[in-house]
Structure 1
Amino acid sequence: MTRFINQLKEGENKFKKRSKIIKFGLYLSLLIIFGKVFYLQIIDNEKPLKFARQEEKPLNVAGERGEIRDSDGTPLAVSEPVPSIHINPGDVKDKPYYLKKLSKILNMSKKTLSKKLTSRKQFVYIKRHATFEEAEKIKKLNLTLKKLGYTQLGIQIEQKRVYPEGHMAGQVLGHTSKYDLIGLEGIEKKYDRYLKGEEKTIKIYKDGRGKIITKNITESDKAKKGHNITLTIKSNWQMILEDVLAAQVKKANALNGYGVIMNPKTGEIYAMVSYPFFNPNSYSQENHNYKKNLPIWKTFEPGSVMKSVLVASALNARVIEEHSILDCENGERRIGDHTIHDINKRGKSNITEILVYSSNICASKIADKMPNEVYHNYLTSRFGFGKKTKIDVPGEAKGKVLQPEKWGDIERANIAFGQGIAVSSIQLAQAVSIIANGGNFVEPYLVRSIDSSNGKNIWKRKYTRGNRVLRYETSKKMRRMLRTVVERGAKRARIKGVSVSGKTGTAQKVVNGKYSKNNIVSMIGFLPSENPQLVAVITIDEPKGQNAYGGVWAAPVFRDAMEKIWLNEDNAEKLANNDSIPSFIGIGKREAIRIAETKKMKIRIHGNGFVQRQDPIAGEKYELNDEIRLFLEPGI
């Protein structure tokens, strides 16, 4: 019995020892845990977050895209804030409830919503570019979801590209991609690197349960806004030309129409129109062909408007004089196996009459007086045909001028009256500007300046005098002769109260290598004849009817648009200069004095001949009592 009791006591002692060991172990474990908690909470309080959260794919936040403005600062392309609705589909438990509510609020089909809510992605846009009214309804829904313990929807503010004036200058402006706002066409594409805002990366995390933790974007996180671009386009002039051209194209039942209005001295483009119009606000629904900026993209055989370039070249090369007489052979001339015809049959005519009555026969004879290489040089190296003008918008075509060694007698004759050569409207505007401005080369352009979002100027177009293409006397003679063309020939282009110089053209369209029955018609012109301030080129493609001529369809567009601009704008010469110093480049001493007296500006003349350089340059603001220094040299 005693032995049994001793055994029980021995077992009890062992149990007590074991209990003590276990208790010690428990106390030690608790001590370690408390110590660790104390360390994490007080000493290294960031570490639990590092364990709890996991970094996800970062969110790239784009800065607001800069504005595109017209010459007066009116916005033509802007970025506006819009709400986008998003969620983590994995957090959605009661999908039927979400489908019912969201389909009603966002006006979306349950089928579309179901695909989004069953996505395996952790971040899904339910609706991008929603309305603010819809966003407010989502906020109210979120209050209900919170009470139910359901996952709330996120609202993210994004940028949407908006074109306030709709289709106005749509092909010039181009457009961006819908969501990423990357420039895809026009100015938006050409100057994308200036317009786009600076991109900023925001890190996104999810907690230990996989729930997305979005970081609030602070001022320091916000990306910088892009630069603003100011164009040379005058919105009111653009709208005038758009309205007049569209009405005429519809009246003619033509395929399309396009036009350019340009400053012949500086190269500024005041209006650039393509019809049918293109609205960049709805670019995905627009006809793809309507995106094309026709004045720079489309090339065509210009017809008789090229006789202006021919005569200017021949006068400058001194192979003809203004009063030279040529025989137009009563409307028919044989060249090899080909016969050239004139609509207006005439005999002997002077150069002005050849332009007035648009003689193809005498044009071919003028071309015969110049070696092929000489006239080719005038067309390409001097006037710029067959080359891009380098205008600051994408999509420009360079046209085509046959190499001189490939000119036979008939090829030379065709080129003389505007066939067998392909040009664009912007090239014609450049060439006519050279004739009008005194003979200097000029580059057309659309962008005047680039400024940062805080108004600091980044870049500004500076006027530089181009190389001399024609002698000033040649330009002066051409202005006079082309004025007579309008007064006696292209009468539908006349404008009461201002002198107009110009030339119309009609050419058969080439289809599959052969001339078709359809015409493309044009009008080139400038005003006022004595001191040209505006150049315009108008083209209408395939006007229907028997009288499908430039004088019938293109000339009235020139007249109606330029008349409204010139007369209704209280004299465009004043508006164009607007207290700015005019360009005296290329004009003679007497004419410079007359312009200065008219504008009540002080000038100091150095030398004789024609103005080669001026200080200050054209375009700068004229202050009272300023003196403009003009440096003249003999004509060449």
Structure 2
Amino acid sequence: MKIIKRKSKQNREKSHIPFRLNFLLFVVFVLFAALIMQLGRLQVMEGANFQAMVNSTDKKIVTGNVPRGMILDAKGRVLVGNSAKPAITYTKNMNVLADKMYTEANQLTKYLTVSTDKLTERDQIDYYLSNPRQLKKWNAKLPKSAKVASDGSELPEKEIYQSTIKLVKKSFKGLNDQQKQAAAIFKIMSGAYQLSTVYIKNSDVTDQEIAQVSEHLTSLPGVNVGTDWERAYPNGNSMRSIIGHVSTEEQGLPEDGINSLLAQGYSRNDRVGTSYLEKQYEGVLHGSKSQSQVEVGANNQILSSSVLFKGQKGSNLNLTIDQAYQTQVEAALKKVYNQAKSTGTTQYSDGAYAVAMNPKTGAILAMAGESNDRQSGEIADDALGVINHTFVMGSAIKGATVMGGLMDGVITPTNNTLPDTPIYLTGTPVKKSVYPVGTFGALDAESALEVSSNIYMMHLAMLEGHAKYVPNQTMTMAPDIFTKMRGYFNQFGLGQKTGIDLPGEASGIEGPTVNEYGEQAVGSLLDLSYGNYDAYTLIQLAQYISTIANGGQRMQPYLVDSIQQTGNDGSFGQIGTKTTPTVLSTINAPESYFNVVKKGMYNVVNGTNAWGTAHTLKDIKPTFGVKTGTAQSFARQDPNDSTSKQVETVTSSLVGFAPYDNPQIAIAIVFPNLNTDEGHYNTLLAREMITDYYKLNNITK
């Protein structure tokens, strides 16, 4: 019998599954068990919370534009209003993809027609590639280098898209007419910000288009039928250059102020005032945007919307200008200028300007201007020339020269007679008045104003400057004489910005105080004394004559009398802001000084001297005070060529106040660069401006 021996423990075969593998399986089992337990916990204990998160919504505030405030004249007549018109709008949902807008734009072409005039090739290609099939097809044609970077990473989508556009351009032949319509709509829709509303069509929308779009709104997400507004001008182009302009939605915010406006809560496509009153009072006219709270679901679709604030329509501007008088002044200026044009006097003229102002308050009563295109002969409204064009005005400023002499003490109200002898300087033509030498031996201040003596004004300047004068020799004067004389002029507003509530006001132009050799320009100083050197704006002349008329208060001119709130139903509300007349400075001079100048201006109209310059106006009652002006000026033969020959011209001006005993209106007029002043166009216009004002306001005494 064979005996079988059992193998020892050490000799038994080892397990085929290594211990490390068993341990790994054990760890996996533990982790899997933990995962099961965590999933169970989340399902049972946190399930409700996660379900709530899925169903949660995000609330956002969406703003909407409101109608702009109106601009009205002094009698409440509408100068600028808003005209409501039907519109097709689009509100862009959150994260709307291009292919969705592509489909919607195509559908809209069945119901409405839009302009394609501003559609570019890039716009057409963007629309073309918003079709997913076309985008996929062209992307497949791109070389690998246009899709993958050198390190093997995929390039950004924007870069790939730009490469796709370049590839398409090589063979792109454009869209057909219907596709262009869809592309124009797609451009508007894709240009909108999330949750913002844009106008797909807001001009010439027909009843049929409104009906068809309204019928299919359920299949056009974000599209709606609404209303838009545009600026309306019942008086046509009257005062348009003063009122200014408003940008279109397409133009949006102007580049020069975009950052400031965005910081104030504007959107890039908001319509804003871009010039003059519309720009100056943008914050008032714009109003307060409406606010709606929009609930956006997890799928980025708008679930609901509720109005938080209906918005506040822009406030209205009530101007100081009576449109009836404004229209009369515009018509009178145009008529008189056309008279000058018909005689060939305006060959080198760039236009004519007039302004009327309340001398006691600074309120602008009328402002008109005509620009003349010397090449085409066309005339256009240029009322802003009153504040932003400068002219050498001539003798109209002599009232300020006389006041300077009185304030300097070189003459007094009772002792102001000076010799009327011409001034002879070396190397300079005789400096004299218009009338023949020797016409007068001497003149007092009042008579000098009546006959518009240049000689009298030059002698005043020489006295103020302590001149050392010997005929036909070099004359010297105090080194500060330019500063002194201009200082007196400045007190009346000549050479100073007036502070009128319009942007773009010019300050004037001062001529040099030394000649080409660095010596004191004595001859120019004498020219300055009678208004034939420095250049001023017409609004400065109006401020100057108003300061004389009211006895020494330099008033700040203004166009906006008040700012009035308005209800959303269009009703007028309370006056929010009322302009208070502002005294910029007061001239420290006795009444007797002003009376000398006023009496001189009275004599210009009512005097008996044959050389009086405005006696043709003495039949107007009640009477008024005037100072006419004629300045030597120059114009280029070719206005577009700065090297063309200069031609000597005449600038005709006038300032006045009426009635004489109780001034209620001050006027300033200028006809620059005429061939001749023989037509006396300044007094012709002054007659119409004063008589029209008297009739309109029933002023008889």
User: Would you say same fold, with TM above 0.5?
Assistant: yes
Which of the residues 386, 393, 402 maps onto 2:495? 386
Aligned to 2:551: 438
1:34 offset after TM fit, Å?
Answer: 14
* Range 469-478 or range 503-512, more displaced: 503-512
Say whether 1:562 aligns with 2:690. yes
- How far apart are the structure 2 equivalents of 1:368 and 1:167? 49
Q: Is the 8 A contact 2:501 2:558 kept in 1?
A: yes
Which of the residues 612, 623, 626 maps onto 1:499? 623
Aligned to 1:447: 560
1:390 offset after TM fit, Å?
Answer: 1.1
Q: What 5-or-longer segments of structure 2 have no aligned partner?
A: 1-38, 93-97, 119-176, 250-269, 373-377, 466-480, 568-572, 607-611, 636-641
Aligned pairs for 1:211-610 (under 5 A) are 213=302, 218=307, 220-253=308-341, 254=346, 255-276=350-371, 293-321=384-412, 324-329=416-421, 333-339=423-429, 340-345=431-436, 346-350=439-443, 351-371=445-465, 372=481, 373-380=483-490, 382-401=491-510, 408-453=521-566, 455-463=573-581, 466-487=585-606, 488-511=612-635, 516-543=647-674, 545=675, 547-548=676-677, 552-571=680-699
1:524 offset after TM fit, Å?
Answer: 0.7
1:274 offset after TM fit, Å?
Answer: 2.1
Which of the residues 69, 73, 88 maps onto 1:85? 88
1:415 offset after TM fit, Å?
Answer: 0.3
- 1:226 alignment partner, SS class: coil
Which of the residues 277, 287, 305 maps onto 1:197? 287
Q: Deviations over 1:87-106 (max 9, x none)?
A: 57835648777435423999
Paired letter, 2:311 = A
Q: Is the 8 A contact 1:352 1:485 kept in 2?
A: no
1:558 offset after TM fit, Å?
Answer: 1.0
- How far apart are the structure 2 equivalents of 1:568 and 1:98? 56
1:419 offset after TM fit, Å?
Answer: 1.8
Q: Is the 8 A contact 1:508 1:516 kept in 2?
A: no
Aligned to 2:112: 102
Q: Deviations over 1:328-360 (max 9, x none)?
A: 34xx54223212243311232413333233232
- How far apart are the structure 2 equivalents of 1:296 and 1:496? 29
Question: Structure 1 residues 306, 94: closer, same or farther in 2, change over 3 A?
Answer: closer
- How far apart are the structure 1 equivalents of 2:217 and 2:564? 46
Which of the residues 204, 209, 221 maps onto 1:138? 209
- How far apart are the structure 2 equivalents of 1:214 and 1:294? 55
Q: Is the 8 A contact 2:446 2:599 kept in 1?
A: no
* Range 122-131 or range 69-78, more displaced: 122-131
Aligned to 1:631: none
Which of the residues 178, 201, 220 maps onto 2:248? 178
Question: Structure 1 residues 105, 324: closer, same or farther in 2, change over 3 A?
Answer: closer
- 1:531 alignment partner, SS class: coil
Aligned to 1:614: none
Aligned to 1:48: 55
With the length of structure 2 as denominator, give the TM-score of the two structures.
0.65
Question: Structure 1 residues 461, 144: closer, same or farther in 2, change over 3 A?
Answer: closer
Question: Structure 1 residues 481, 62: closer, same or farther in 2, change over 3 A?
Answer: same
Question: Structure 1 residues 59, 308: closer, same or farther in 2, change over 3 A?
Answer: same
- How far apart are the structure 1 equivalents of 2:460 and 2:545? 19
- How far apart are the structure 2 equivalents of 1:155 and 1:143? 7
Aligned to 1:121: 190
Question: Structure 1 residues 291, 363: closer, same or farther in 2, change over 3 A?
Answer: closer
Question: Structure 1 residues 92, 153: closer, same or farther in 2, change over 3 A?
Answer: farther
Paired letter, 1:258 = Y
Paired letter, 2:497 = K
Q: Is the 8 A contact 1:335 1:409 kept in 2?
A: no
- Choose between structure 1 and 2 for higher RCO, CA contacts under 8 A separated by at least 6 residues: 2
Question: Structure 1 residues 528, 407: closer, same or farther in 2, change over 3 A?
Answer: farther
Paired letter, 2:332 = V
1:76 offset after TM fit, Å?
Answer: 2.2
Question: Structure 1 residues 375, 152: closer, same or farther in 2, change over 3 A?
Answer: closer
Paired letter, 2:586 = N
- How far apart are the structure 1 equivalents of 2:274 and 2:508? 24
Q: Is the 8 A contact 2:88 2:224 kept in 1?
A: yes
- How far apart are the structure 1 equivalents of 2:191 and 2:489? 63
Q: What 5-or-longer segments of structure 1 have no aligned partner?
A: 1-28, 278-286, 574-636
Aligned to 1:579: none
Question: Structure 1 residues 118, 72: closer, same or farther in 2, change over 3 A?
Answer: closer
Paired letter, 1:389 = T
- How far apart are the structure 2 equivalents of 1:429 and 1:214? 62
Paired letter, 2:613 = G
Q: Is the 8 A contact 1:565 1:572 kept in 2?
A: no
Q: Is the 8 A contact 2:633 2:650 kept in 1?
A: yes
Q: Deviations over 1:446-467 (max 9, x none)?
A: 2222233363443322345542
RMSD across aligned C-alpha pairs, in angstroms?
3.9
- 2:684 alignment partner, SS class: helix
Q: Is the 8 A contact 1:100 1:110 kept in 2?
A: no
Paired letter, 1:326 = L
Question: Structure 1 residues 146, 435: closer, same or farther in 2, change over 3 A?
Answer: closer
Aligned to 2:474: none
* Range 182-191 or range 67-76, more displaced: 67-76
Q: Deviations over 1:431-488 (max 9, x none)?
A: 1111111223322222222233363443322345542343211212222111111234
Paired letter, 2:236 = G
Question: Structure 1 residues 111, 344: closer, same or farther in 2, change over 3 A?
Answer: farther
Q: Deviations over 1:191-235 (max 9, x none)?
A: 21222212345466777888x6486663x3322223332221122
- How far apart are the structure 1 equivalents of 2:379 and 2:506? 18
- How far apart are the structure 2 equivalents of 1:352 and 1:94? 81
Q: Is the 8 A contact 2:116 2:184 kept in 1?
A: no
Q: Is the 8 A contact 1:92 1:151 kept in 2?
A: no
Q: Is the 8 A contact 1:312 1:435 kept in 2?
A: no
Q: Is the 8 A contact 2:294 2:306 kept in 1?
A: no
- 2:586 alignment partner, SS class: coil
1:265 offset after TM fit, Å?
Answer: 1.4
Question: Structure 1 residues 335, 204: closer, same or farther in 2, change over 3 A?
Answer: farther
Aligned to 2:143: none
With the length of structure 1 as denominator, give the TM-score of the two structures.
0.71
Say whether 1:71 aligns with 2:142. no
Question: Structure 1 residues 105, 64: closer, same or farther in 2, change over 3 A?
Answer: closer
1:275 offset after TM fit, Å?
Answer: 2.1
Paired letter, 2:181 = L
Question: Structure 1 residues 95, 425: closer, same or farther in 2, change over 3 A?
Answer: closer
Question: Structure 1 residues 424, 217: closer, same or farther in 2, change over 3 A?
Answer: farther
* Range 164-173 or range 388-397, more displaced: 164-173
Q: Is the 8 A contact 1:376 1:403 kept in 2?
A: no
Question: Structure 1 residues 66, 319: closer, same or farther in 2, change over 3 A?
Answer: same
